[in-house]
């Protein structure tokens, strides 16, 4: 049976940079607080772009660096917590922008683990022969669902998109993949879907009764609980992947974690007793871009020439849901591609 490989990567971040210092001019925060608690120095914010447009830009970059044409794609999966619309899917809008007329398209919702979930779905489709060339995108415009009056959450996130094209080949690519969920923690990191805009209070009460929930559609988070969950989920996912692949941490050249918070990553470095260089980070420049964080990091590593053919990398994510997941990949892209 053919192996499933990553054939190309791409990413896109908006031009607009918002530094911690700039945030401190519009809210009661400061660079020192944000940097010491999270490691984040700046983030990118979309101005006049939505999730589908930044997702399509990342996809086009991946296509440009591959031999795959848009019409060769037969499946597009977009992982996002910030779709353009309830319907159509962001994947269908991306399909139209990039001209991938032969693809089946759908979105998935797995928060910051979304890209790993997407890789897993793509893997299954390719492995069983149902699809050949699959585009997986993690894309977010989180700035649109942030409560900019809540300094505890709004300083943490940013916008961006990352993409990978998967296909089949002879050499081993995706070696091991693992995902999990725990809906008991659903309230720890949440954004309500309903966005009811009824200014008339009497009318609103008549329709919905005395509920306050209908118009809260911004991101809320129990930061400390998420921290505990994150380190547990990352540790267990890494152990599971290494055990089932019969590899050791020394076999892994880079761990590419979900870019949420440098303190979470530092905790993992100590727990695993590894050199900090084994963990790739770029959250300093982009903040937490949820489903986009891992594919943006992977694309940057690819373009910076950090990855040699044959290197083994481990991607690991965790997020709202609660969800988590990881994969070990043997890199199959030639450096000069």
Segment 225-264, which members bind ligand ACO (CB under 6 A)?
226-227, 230, 260-261, 263
Please give the Cα distance from 314 to 297 (Å, whole number): 12
Is 288 assigned a catalytic role? Answer: yes
DSSP structural state of residue 112 = G
319 is a contact residue toward ligand ACO (CB under 6 A): yes
Question: Of the ranges 6-14, 32-40, 62-70, 74-82, which one interacts with ligand ACO (CB under 6 A)?
Answer: 32-40
- Pattern of binders to ligand ACO over 150-189, x per CB under 6 A? -xx--xx--------------------------------x
Strand 323-330 to strand 174-181: parallel, antiparallel, or no bridges (unpaired)? Answer: antiparallel
Is 154 assigned a catalytic role? Answer: no
92, 105, 112, 168: the catalytic one is 112
For residue 183, give the 3-state DSSP assignment.
Answer: helix
Please give the Cα distance from 105 to 55 (Å, whole number): 13
Asked if 165 contacts 62 with a C-beta cutoff of 8 angstroms, the reply is yes
Question: Of the ranges 67-75, 149-157, 193-201, 208-216, which one interacts with ligand ACO (CB under 6 A)?
Answer: 149-157
**Nearer Cβ to ligand ACO, position 104 or 220?**
220
Q: What is the DSSP string of 116-173?
A: HHHHHHHHHHHHTTS-S-EEEEEEEEGGGT--TT-HHHHTTB-EEEEEEEEEEESS--
116 is a contact residue toward ligand ACO (CB under 6 A): no
50, 105, 133, 258: the catalytic one is 258
* Cβ-based neighbour number of residue 129 at 10 Å: 10
Q: How many residues bind ligand ACO (CB under 6 A)?
A: 23
Q: Please identify which residue in 218, 279, 318, 324 interacts with ligand ACO, judged by CB under 6 A.
A: 318
Q: What is the DSSP string of 215-226?
A: G--S-EE-HHHH
CB of 111 to ligand ACO, least distance (A): 6
For residue 254, give the 3-state DSSP assignment.
Answer: strand
Is 258 assigned a catalytic role? Answer: yes
Give me the active site residues, please. 112, 258, 288
Q: Which residues bind ligand ACO (CB under 6 A)?
A: 29, 33-34, 37-38, 112, 151-152, 155-156, 189, 221, 223-224, 226-227, 230, 260-261, 263, 288, 318-319
């Amino acid at each position: 049976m053919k192996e499933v490989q990553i054939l190309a990567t791409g990413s896109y971040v908006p031009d607009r940079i918002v530094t911690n210092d700039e945030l401190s001019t519009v809210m009661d925060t400061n660079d020192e607080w944000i940097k010491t608690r999270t490691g984040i120095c700046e983030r990118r914010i979309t101005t006049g772009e939505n999730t589908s447009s930044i997702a399509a830009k990342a996809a086009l970059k991946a296509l440009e660096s591959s031999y795959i044409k848009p019409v060769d794609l037969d499946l597009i999966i977009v992982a996002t917590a910030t779709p353009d619309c309830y319907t159509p899917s962001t994947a269908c809008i991306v399909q139209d922008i990039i001209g991938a007329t032969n693809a089946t398209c759908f979105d998935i919702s797995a928060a910051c683990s979304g890209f790993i979930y997407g890789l897993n779905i793509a893997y299954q489709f390719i492995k069983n022969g149902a699809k050949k060339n699959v585009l997986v995108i993690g894309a977010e415009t989180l700035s649109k669902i942030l409560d900019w009056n809540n300094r505890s959450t709004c300083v943490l996130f940013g916008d961006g998109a990352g993409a990978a094209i998967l296909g089949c080949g002879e050499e081993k690519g995706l070696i091991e993949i693992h995902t999990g969920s725990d809906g008991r923690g659903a309230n720890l990191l949440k954004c309500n879907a309903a966005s009811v805009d009824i200014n008339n209070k009497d009318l609103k009460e008549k329709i919905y009764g005395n509920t306050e929930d209908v118009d809260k559609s911004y991101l809320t988070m129990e930061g400390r609980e998420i921290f505990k969950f994150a380190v547990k989920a990352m540790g267990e996912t890494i152990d599971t992947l290494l055990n089932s692949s019969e590899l050791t941490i020394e076999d892994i050249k880079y761990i590419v974690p979900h870019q949420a918070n440098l303190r979470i990553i530092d905790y993992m470095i100590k727990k695993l007793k590894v050199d900090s260089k084994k963990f790739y980070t770029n959250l300093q420049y982009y903040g937490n871009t949820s489903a986009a964080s891992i594919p943006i990091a992977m694309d940057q590593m690819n373009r910076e020439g950090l990855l040699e053919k044959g290197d083994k990398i481990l991607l690991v994510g965790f997020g709202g849901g609660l969800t988590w997941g990881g994969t070990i990949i043997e890199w199959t892209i030639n450096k000069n591609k």
